[in-house]
């Protein structure tokens, strides 16, 4: 996993670009991007074969939706990118993510 600081990280995403700001989940203030953590998208962090260890966040837990046969628990299904924002009002973090 790699980290890109500031606005340069907004395009390090598996889907549409992340926004520069988002609403703070704590106080509803404006949160500005701090950094984006991303995996699996650069030439030097391709999958290593054989995969005999945990390599991507998606491999940490199983993605099991809750039903009558399981205890449930959603989890990522592919490589992810996570944008972390800090609020101008309360300084608490808010995160947005997507996956391949």
What's the number of CA atoms in the CB half-sphere (13 Å) around residue 47? Answer: 11
- 79 pLDDT higher than 80: yes
Provide the whole-model pTM.
0.85
pLDDT score recorded for residue 97: 98
Q: Which residue has the higher pLDDT, 59 or 82?
A: 82
Cα–Cα distance measured from residue 40 to residue 99, given in angstroms and rounded to the nearest whole number: 10
Virtual CA dihedral for 11, 16, 22, 24, nearest 10 degrees?
-100
**% residues pLDDT > 90 (the chain):** 58
Mean pLDDT of 51-72: 73
Mean pLDDT of 17-41: 96
Domain residue ranges of the chain, discontinuous segments joined by +: 2-99
Cα–Cα distance measured from residue 85 to residue 95, given in angstroms and rounded to the nearest whole number: 6
């Amino acid at each position: 996993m790699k980290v890109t600081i500031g606005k340069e990280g907004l395009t390090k995403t598996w889907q549409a670009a992340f926004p520069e700001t988002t609403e703070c989940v704590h106080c509803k203030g404006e949160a500005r991007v701090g950094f984006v953590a991303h995996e699996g998208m650069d030439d030097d962090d391709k999958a290593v074969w054989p995969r005999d260890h945990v390599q991507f966040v998606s491999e940490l837990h199983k993605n099991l939706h809750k039903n009558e046969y399981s205890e449930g628990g959603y989890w990522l299904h592919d490589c992810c990118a996570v944008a972390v924002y800090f609020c101008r009002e309360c300084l608490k973090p808010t995160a947005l993510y997507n996956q391949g």
